[in-house]
Amino acid sequence: MHRHAGRPYAALLPRRTLRLVANATGTLCALLLPAAGALADATRFGIDAEFGHYTNINRAALAKEEQSDNAVALEAYAARSFLLSDRSGVVVRGGVRAREFFDFGDMSSIGVTGRAAYRFQPSPGFTSPWIELAANLETLSHRDSDIRDGYIVSAAASIGKYVTDRIRVEGGAGYDIRRASEGSVYDLSNAKFWGALDYKLTNSTTLYGSATWLNGEQVFTLLNTAAWSNMYAYAKASASDPVFASAFGGAAPMAYRVDAVTVVLELGTNIALTGSQALDFGVGWFDSKADQGGGSYDGASIRAGYLYRFR
């Protein structure tokens, strides 16, 4: 039996993380209050449930050390829109997200998410482009992986438009900063650029795809350090990662933070069941290459989700 069995999930969180979650929740609630001088829509609520399978979940630098796992995730959120003018507005969104891994349970997590976005359309018209400025916050608290606890903040600017009534395109650039509450292995910074395309196949089915390029820092893991001395020679930080020890006879691999370039691809489909319910299926692939030392890893994901929007 896992040593945390029988304990409430909140009891597993560090006090500092609990305070961070509480403060972030209060901030998100404040964002959902009506803004002076703005016309606000009613607050919208929703629940997203998802099952996923993930390969190379440990981001192993050696193919023979790669591990896979399944996970379920649940997110409850609230969102509100404020119309500032005929062609501009603000959308704020706050939620609580939990994820449970089947085999590597110490990676299971709970956290608060928040997003604020300002969008404006310089000229009127259905096919006229819009510009969006957005900021995101996510807190991270894992069951038993202190090096992963912390938060992520990001800012982005994007431009999008409807090419036709069926095709929607978008592209943008942003910057992500992740800070760990213990150690510095997961102190990551990344510049990112992305493009996305949605195609409305039928009235109820939308196909979508995206490609993202990240330049910054990533975490690689390695058990057989003698096989790849260049990995830790060029690492900016390192720490033991006991989350995956059960896969290696109790020996914990090392986690290394290195400069790297990463490509992420995603394809999916969204199928509306009713006006408030939908199914969402997707596949993803990522590939990361270290700037120095020759290290690299890749992996894939398959997911199926159910989305419910309260009216």
Is the model's pLDDT at 32 over the cut of 70?
A: no
Q: What is the mean pLDDT of the chain?
A: 89
pLDDT tens digits for range 110-124: 999 999 999 999 998
Residues 6+ apart with CB under 8 A from 217: 187, 188, 189, 190, 236, 257, 258, 259, 260
- Taking a C-beta distance cutoff of 8 angstroms, is the pair 160, 175 a contact? no
Q: Which residue has the higher pLDDT, 30 or 111?
A: 111
| pTM, to two decimals | 0.85
* Chain centre distance of CA 75: 12
H or E element at residue 30? helix 15-31
- Taking a C-beta distance cutoff of 8 angstroms, is the pair 151, 140 a contact? yes
- Taking a C-beta distance cutoff of 8 angstroms, is the pair 25, 10 a contact? no
State the Cα–Cα distance between residues 61 and 59, nearest whole angstrom.
6
Least confident of 7-21, 62-76, 236-250: 7-21
Q: How many beta carbons lie within 10 A of that of residue 53, not counting itself? A: 16
State the Cα–Cα distance between residues 66 and 221, nearest whole angstrom.
9
Q: How many beta carbons lie within 10 A of that of residue 246, not counting itself? A: 15
Structural domains for the chain: 9-310 (2.40.160.40)
Residues 6+ apart with CB under 8 A from 272: 203, 204, 205, 278
Q: How confident is the model at residue 38, as a pLDDT?
A: 56
Q: How confident is the model at residue 109, as a pLDDT?
A: 97
Is the model's pLDDT at 271 over the cut of 70?
A: yes
Is the model's pLDDT at 179 over the cut of 80?
A: yes
Nearest Cα residue to 78 out of 108, 34, 115? 115
Q: How confident is the model at residue 259, as a pLDDT?
A: 96
